[in-house]
Amino acid sequence: NAGVTQTPKFRVLKTGQSMTLLCAQDMNHEYMYWYRQDPGMGLRLIHYSVGEGTTAKGEVPDGYNVSRLKKQNFLLGLESAAPSQTSVYFCASSYLGNTEAFFGQGTRLTVV
């Protein structure tokens, strides 16, 4: 019973490099989310999706792009990484927007 799976778990990038974080869920959820977690700031919503083919901006979307080509996958892209994007990234999914969210194990990203 996988739930929500994120890859990779760790990554170090140089400033200016690009990368894609992959999130996959096997619960047939419509809603998927990308959050970042920083010390003293809790979790902040980057982007979210309410269904296949749809995406929307969250609280801190600048510097990130997302795609939801398949219902079970939600990709987060960094086109040109900056040190300010050093963070722990969490993907989550839920049945509805106001129901419990299931989280992945997180991706620790360091940009040097």
Partner 1 sequence: AQKVTQAQTEISVVEKEDVTLDCVYETRDTTYYLFWYKQPPSGELVFLIRRNSFDEQNEISGRYSWNFQKSTSSFNFTITASQVVDSAVYFCALSGGKSGGYQKVTFGIGTKLQVIP
Pick the binder of partner 1 from 26, 54, 97, 112 (CB under 8 A).
97
Within 54-83, the residues that bind partner 1 by CB under 8 A are 58-59
Count the site residues for partner 1 by CB under 8 A.
28
Tell how strand 87-94 and strand 107-111 pair up: antiparallel
HSE-up of residue 97 (Cα within 13 Å, Cβ side): 5
- Given candidates 13, 24, 33, 81, which one binds partner 1 under the rule CB under 8 A? 33
Residue 41 sits in the site that holds partner 1 (CB under 8 A): yes
Q: Is 90 in the site for partner 1 (CB under 8 A)?
A: yes
Name, in order, each residue with C-beta under 8 angstroms of 30's C-beta and a sequence gap of 6 or more.
50, 51, 71, 95, 96
